[in-house]
Homo-oligomer: A and B are copies of this chain.
Amino acid sequence: MLKIALGQMEVIPGHPDKNTEKILQMVEDAKCQQADIVIFPEMAIPGYFLGDTWEQPAFLQDCEECGRKVIEASQDIIIMFGNIAVDWNKKNNDGRVRKYNAFFTAKGGKLIHPDNMPYPFVIKTLMPNYREFDDTRHFFSLQKLSRELGTTPDQLISPVTLKIKDRRYRVGCLLCEDGWSDDYELTPLGILKKQRSIDFFVNISASPYTLGKNEKRHRVFGKQAKECHAPLFYVNNVGLQNNGKTIYTFDGVSTVYDAGGQIAACCQEYAEELSVVDLEHLSELPRADLPEEPDIAHIYRALAYGILHFLENIRMKKVVIGVSGGIDSAVAAALYNRVVGPENLLLVNMPSIYNSETTKGLSQKLAENLGCHYTIIPIQYSVEHTIEQLETTPIEFLKSHTTTHLKVSSFVAENIQARDRSARILAAVAAAFGGGFTCNANKAETTVGYSTLYGDQSGFLAAMADLWKYQVYDLAHYLNDVIYKKEVIPQGIIDIVPSAELSESQNVEEGKGDPIQYPYHDFLFRAFVERWQKATPQDILEWYLEGTLEEKIGCKAGLVKECFPAAADFIADLERWWNLFTGMAIAKRIQAPPILAISRRAFGFDHREAQNGPYYTMKYRELKKTLLKNDTTD
C-alpha cells in the first residue's frame, strides 16, 4: 500500500514565504492522513508568472531558502515539489545566473538524486514559448544542459528511485510541458518509458485555465498512462497569476490517471485540496465522472474566481460600475454583485440627452434586482461646459499673433461624453467610494477598438474582454437561469439593440445601434485573433470566393450574403475592421486595463502585437481587384 497525496495548493506568485507556509501545512495534513508521498505543483514556491523578478538574485536566494525548509520537512514523508533551482557558478544565455525550472524530491531531510541527472533534481526539458509562456527567457532547459555537457537528453532523463517500506519505486518525473511533447524533437516520457520499467509518472504543472483545455489533457494524459501501463499523477495549482496585461486563473483539476488511462481521481476546480489515493488500489476508486456542462458554466466560474482573487490581490473590496442599460454593463453588474455582494457594489447611471427612457429605466430595474447601491449622475451639463469652453477659448499662434478657435465635431463630442463618464465621474466616484471602477468591454469591441480611451476603455480590470458578444449573452442567461435563478438582468436589456447612445444616430428607440454586426463580426474577429493559423483579409477573401467562409469562421450559414449583398460591400466591411484591428485598436489595447483570459488567445501578453499599421498582402490585393472587376461587370 502506497498512499500518494496530491497537494493542489493555491500558489501566490512572487510570494515564496506564503507558498512555503502553505506547503508545510499541507505536508502536515498529508502526514496525518498517513500519506507516503505528497506532491506539489510546478514552481510551487516562487509561482510561475513573475515577469523579470527572476532577475533579482535576492529573490532567487529567498526561493532557495524556502526550498531548504520544505526539504527539512520531509521527515517520515516524501515531498515532491517544484521550485526554481539556481546554479550560481553557471550562466544563462542572457549572461545572468543559471536557472532551472526544477522538480525536487525530498526524503528524510535530503534530496533524492534522479538516477542520471547532473543535479539532485529533475530539470524541465521542454520549454513553452507560445501564448503567455516565456520559459526560455528565464529557464535553462535540459536540452541546453545536455549540449553543454557534451551528452544528449536521453542520457540525462532518468527516473527518481524511491525506497518505501522495503520496496523500490521508479518514478518518471515530468514538468508540465514535458507531457505535451507532440511538436518537439524529443519526448521526455518516451525516453523514460524506454529506459526501464516505471512504476508511476508524476507531472507537476502550473497550467492556466483555458476553455476546453482539461478535456484535451484528459485525452492526452490518459493515453500516456495507458501506453506506459503506469498510473500518472498530474498535480496543478489553483490561484491567479498574471503577466501584467493578461490575467490567468489556474483551475487545478489535479488528476490521477490509472494504468488503463482512466481518470481514477480528480480534484475540484478552483479549490485547494489535499487528495490522497492508494497507488495499488486505483482501479477500485469510484469512477470519477466529470459532469458535462456547457462552456458558459466553466467561463462563469473562471470569471468569478478571477475577479475575486484579483480584488484580493490588489486589496480592493468595493466596486463601481457605470451602467448604461445595455448588456455588457448589466452582465458585469450581475457578475461583480455575486463576487463582492450588493453592499460593496455601486452602480452609476450617467445619462446625457441621448440616453433613452428605456435604457435609463432598465438600469434602475437592474440595480433594484441586485439590491446594490445606485446613483444617477448626469453628464449633460459638464459635457456642454467642456464643448463651450473649448469652442470659446481663443488659441493664439504666437509666431504671428493670430487667434483661432477650436470646433468640436459630433465625433469629438461623442468621445467627450465617454470620457466624462469614466475619467471625470467614475474614477472620482470609485476613489470616494473606496474602490475601483470596471471596464465592461467585450472581445469584439476590444478587437476593433470600438471604445474611447480614458472613457469606456478604462477601469481597473476588463473582466469580460475575452468574451465575444455571443458569450456575453450566454453569460446573461446563465446568471439569470443558474446563478440567481431569477431575472436579475431584465429581459429588456437582453432584447434591446446594442448601442453606445452617444448621438442621435445611435437612438435605441428607433432600433439604431452599434456598427458591429455581432452575429457575423464576432466570428470574423475570432478568426483574426483565435484561429490557430491566424486569418488575414487574404484568407477571408479566399474563403469568401470558395463559398466556405461561414463554415471556416463558424458563423450562421447564409449570413454573409444577407449582410453584404455585393462583393464591394463585403470588402469595404472587411477592410474597415482590419484597418481598425491592426491600427487604432492596438493603440487602445496598449493602454487598456488588464484582461482576464478564458479563451485560447486573449489580448495582451498572449496575443502579442506591435503598432505597425494595417497591411494587405500582394495576393489579397490581386484577389480584391479581380473580385471588384467581376462584381461591376455582373
Contact = CB atoms under 8 A, between A and B. Distances in A.
Interface string A589-632: 11111100000000000011111110101111000000000000
A60 B352 CA distance: 48
A580 interface: no
Contact of A609 (B51, B425, B427): B51
A371 B419 CA distance: 31
Interface stretch (A210-218, A272-280, A383-391, A496-504): A383-391
A396 interface: yes
Contacts of A346: 395
A618 B62 contact: yes
A241 B12 CA distance: 35
Q: Which bucket holds chain A's interface residue count?
A: 35 or more
B415 A432 contact: no
A606 to B, nearest CB: 9
Contacts of A186: 147
A382 interface: yes
A617 B424 contact: no
B372 A13 contact: no
Nearest to A620: B58
Nearest to A243: B610
Q: For A57, A245, A427, A533, which residue has the most chain B Cβ atoms within 10 angstroms?
A: A427
Nearest to A140: B185
B612 A242 contact: yes
Given A382-B385, A424-B423, A613 B130 contact: no
Contacts of A136: 127, 129, 136
A406 to B, nearest CB: 4
A538 B63 CA distance: 14
Among A93, A425, A619, max chain B CB count under 10 A is at A93
A429 interface: yes
A283 interface: no
Contact of A129 (B59, B94, B182): B94
24 contacts: A49-B610, A51-B608, A51-B612, A57-B533, A57-B534, A58-B535, A61-B619, A66-B618, A93-B128, A129-B129, A147-B185, A148-B185, A244-B610, A244-B611, A245-B590, A313-B612, A343-B397, A368-B398, A370-B398, A373-B397, A375-B395, A377-B389, A416-B428, A422-B454
